Amino acid sequence: MQNPQGFGVSEETLLKMQLTLEFGGGLELLCDSKKIHNVNVEQQNGEDKLTMKDLLSWVRTNLIKERPEMFMKGDTVRPGVLVLVNDCDWELSGQLNTLLEEKDVVVFISTLHGG
Amino acid sequence: MSSASEILRQLNSLKDAKTEIDNKISLLEAQLKDINLQNAAAASNGSSSYPANGLTPDMIHRYSRHLVLPSFGVQGQANLLKSSILVVGAGGLGAPALLYFAASGVGRLGIVDHDVVELNNMHRQIIHREAYVGKPKVKSAAAACRSINSTIQVVEHEEALRTSNALEILSKYDIIVDATDNAPTRYMISDCCVVLGKPLVSGAALGLEGQLTVYNYNSGPCYRCLFPTPPPRTACQSCADGGVLGVVPGIIGCLQALEAIKIAASVGEPLSGRMLLLDALSGRIRIVKIRGRSTQCEACGENATFTQQHFCEFDYEKFTQTPLCVPPLKLNLLPSESRISSKEYSETILKKEPHVLVDVRPAHHFNIVSLPKSMNIPLSTLEASLPEISSALKKEEERGVVSGSSAQLYVVCRRGNDSQRAVQLLHKKGFTSAKDIVGGLESWTHNVDPEFPTY
C-alpha cells in the first residue's frame, strides 16, 4: 500500500504484505503438511515492492521445514513445480520478476504422475 | 466330504470350461456383429427411407439422450461414432474413461496396457472384475467395454508402450488419453503426440489430489512446454507408495473422458491452455490458466527439430532417471554381514534367541499389519528414539536365559530399503551389530509365511 503523505513510515518500519500461499501435489509435506498459509511477508530493505524471487527466498526461510531441495533448485523452484499467481501460470506474469500485490494468492503445486 | 484339493481341482476344471465357453461366446458375438454391421451398411446405403446422418434405428435408440441434447445432437454423435480414441493405461484413470468411451459410442477404442489385474487394484480400477485377477488388464477392460457396447470396435494392445511401438500404435487413433502412472511414459506419449500431431488428454491422480489438462491441441502447449526439465525421481510418488483414494482417479478419469468426447464430437471448449486441479480433501476444484506453446520447447517449439526419428532414438528412462516399467527400488547399502534373510530371522524366533525387532515404517503402515513383538520406530524419528532401543535391548538381555549372549538388533520395513538406511544410521550411532531383514515384510510373506498380508 502506498502512503500518499509519506507520513508515519519510518525507515525502521517494515512494510508487510498480506499473501495467501498454497502448497499442493505433495509440497505441503515440506511445510508441516499444512496446505494453506496466510502470511505477512516483510518487504526487503524498505522497498515497497515484492517480487516472486523475494517471496521464494522468504518461503524457503520461513515455511519450508525439511528437504528444501524438493522445493527449490538454485534461486527458482525445482523442475516439476507449477507456480500460479492468482490462478495464472507465473510464466505469463514474468516468473521470478512477477510483482506481487497485497492479498495475492500464490499456489505452488507439484505435478503428479500417478494414475 | 470333499477335501480342499478335490474342491480346487473341480474349481479349476470348471473355470477352464468357463473360459472355453466365454471364448466361443466372444467368437459368435464377433461374427454376429460383423453380420449386423454389413446389414447396417447395406441399410444406410440408400435402402433406408429415413435420413439420419448414417445412424441406424438401433443407434438412434441407444444414443437418444445424446441426440436430444441441443449442444451435442446428431452431429456430435455421428462425429463420435466416426472417431477413434486410444487409452494408454487401463488403471485407475483409464477404467472409468474406457467405460464412458464404450458407452457413449466411440467408433474405435484402443487400450494399451502390459499389466495384470491385482486384488489391490480393485478399489479404484473399477472396470475390472474379481474373476480377472491375475489376467491381463487389457483383456479385462476390453471384455467390460464389449459387454457395455457390442457395436463399437475395441482394439487390444497387450504390450508396454515403448519408443519402438508408440508411433505405430498412436498413429492409428485420432485422440490419445494418457492414463499412465509414471514420468518417462508421460514424456514419451506427449512427444509422440507432437510428432504425430494428435491431441492428448492428460490426467494424473495421487493421494487425494488430481490434475487434468489437454496438450498439443490447436497450437496449445505440450507436456514439455510446461515441464521442460523432468522432476527428480524422488519427487515422483506412485500410488503403491503414496496411496490413493479410489474415487479420486475415478473423477479425473471421468473428466478425461469428457474432454476426449468433446474433442471427438467437436463440441465445446477443450481444457487446453488451462489446467484443472482437484483437491478432494478440502472439496475444491480450481481451473488455472497455464502458459501457451513455448517457442523454446524442444518438442514443439519454433526451432524444434524433434522428428519421428529423434523420437525413436530418445532415451526416456535416462531423461527422467526413471525406468518405464517401475520396478520397486532395490537398494544395496549394507555389507552382507549386516543383513539377514527373512528365513534366517524366522529361525532366530524359533530358537528363542534374545533380540529386538525394530519396524521403521511410518506409523500408519505399522497399523495395517506388523510382525509379532516388533516395535515401531519410524525412520524419521529413529535418531531421537535411540534410548528406547537401548532399553529394549537391555530388557531383552535380562530376560534371555542364555547368559553371556547379547541381544541382537534387527530392523525391518516394507521392502528392505528404509531398513538399510536405518541400519546405516544405527551403525553410526554405536549399534554396530544391527542388521536389516533383506526384502522386508514382502520377503517374509514370500519366504516364510504366505499368510502374512501384503499391501
Residues 6+ apart with CB under 8 A from B101: B85, B87, B109, B145, B257, B260, B261
- B229 and A89 within 8 Å at the Cβ level: the answer is no
Instruction: Map residue B200 onto helix, strand or coil.
Output: strand
Summarize the annotated binding site of B as residue ranges. Answer: 92, 113, 120-124, 137, 181-182, 222, 225, 297, 300
pLDDT digits (tens, 9 = 90+) for B18-74: 989 988 998 898 888 778 777 766 655 544 566 667 899 999 999 999 999 999 999
Chain A residues touching B91 at Cβ < 8 A: 115
Length in residues, chain A: 115
B204 close contact with A: CB closer than 8 A: yes
pLDDT of residue B402: 56
Q: How far is A3 from chain B (nearest CA, A)?
A: 33
Rounded average pLDDT over B277-306: 94
A111 close contact with B: CB closer than 8 A: yes
pLDDT of residue A14: 63
A88 close contact with B: CB closer than 8 A: yes
Quick check: A95 and A74 in contact, CB under 8 A? no
pLDDT band at B237 (very low <50, low <70, confident <90, very high): confident
Q: How far is A72 from chain B (nearest CA, A)?
A: 11
Q: How many CA atoms lie within 13 A of A79 on its CB side?
A: 15
pLDDT digits (tens, 9 = 90+) for B367-398: 999 999 999 999 999 999 999 999 999 998 88
Asked which of A90-94, B145-149, B258-262, B401-405 is least confident by mean pLDDT, the reply is B401-405
- C-alpha closest to that of B140 among B101, B95, B203: B95
pLDDT digits (tens, 9 = 90+) for B152-163: 999 999 999 999
Q: Residues 110-169, chain B: which have Cβ within 8 Å of A? A: none
B93 close contact with A: CB closer than 8 A: yes
* String of DSSP letters for B383-450: GGGHHHHHHHHHHHHHH-SSTTPPPEEEEE-SSSSHHHHHHHHHHHTT-TT-EEETTHHHHHHHHT-T
- B211 and A25 within 8 Å at the Cβ level: the answer is yes
Beta-bridge partner residues of B272: B214
Chain B residues touching A81 at Cβ < 8 A: 231
More confident residue, B172 or B47: B172
- A25 and B180 within 8 Å at the Cβ level: the answer is no
- B183 and A113 within 8 Å at the Cβ level: the answer is yes
A82 close contact with B: CB closer than 8 A: yes
Cell numbers for B241, please give them: 507408495
A74 close contact with B: CB closer than 8 A: no
pLDDT of residue A8: 45
Distance from C-alpha of B118 to C-alpha of B90, rounded to nearest angstrom = 12
pLDDT band at A7 (very low <50, low <70, confident <90, very high): very low
More confident residue, B85 or B327: B85
pLDDT band at B3 (very low <50, low <70, confident <90, very high): confident
Q: Residues 32-61, chain B: which have Cβ within 8 Å of A? A: none
B89 close contact with A: CB closer than 8 A: yes
Quick check: B105 and B59 in contact, CB under 8 A? yes
- C-alpha closest to that of B108 among B71, B83, B72: B83
Structure pTM?
0.82
Kindly report the CATH class assigned to A14-110: alpha beta
pLDDT of residue B291: 96
Query: Is B325 part of the annotated catalytic residue set?
Result: no
Chain B residues touching A91 at Cβ < 8 A: 290-291
pLDDT band at B421 (very low <50, low <70, confident <90, very high): very high
| Catalytic residue selected from B239, B254, B312, B325 | B239
Q: Identify which of A25, A91, A92 has the shortest CB distance to residue B209.
A: A25
User: Residue B403: is its pLDDT beyond 60?
Assistant: no
pLDDT of residue B107: 96
pLDDT digits (tens, 9 = 90+) for A20-34: 999 999 999 999 999
Average pLDDT, rounded, for chain B: 92
Rounded average pLDDT over A31-42: 93
Length in residues, chain B: 455
pLDDT digits (tens, 9 = 90+) for B340-373: 999 999 999 999 899 999 999 999 999 999 999 9
pLDDT band at A6 (very low <50, low <70, confident <90, very high): very low
Assign 3-class secondary structure to chain A.
CCCCCCCCCCCCCCCEEEEEEEEECCHHHHCCCCCEEEEEEECHHHCCCEEHHHHHHHHHHHCCCCCHHHCEECCEECCCEEEEECCEEHHHCCHHHCEECCCCEEEEEECCCCC
Rounded average pLDDT over A79-92: 96
Chain B residues touching A68 at Cβ < 8 A: none
User: Residue B206: is its pLDDT beyond 90?
Assistant: yes
Q: Which residue of A has its CA nearest to B184?
A: A113
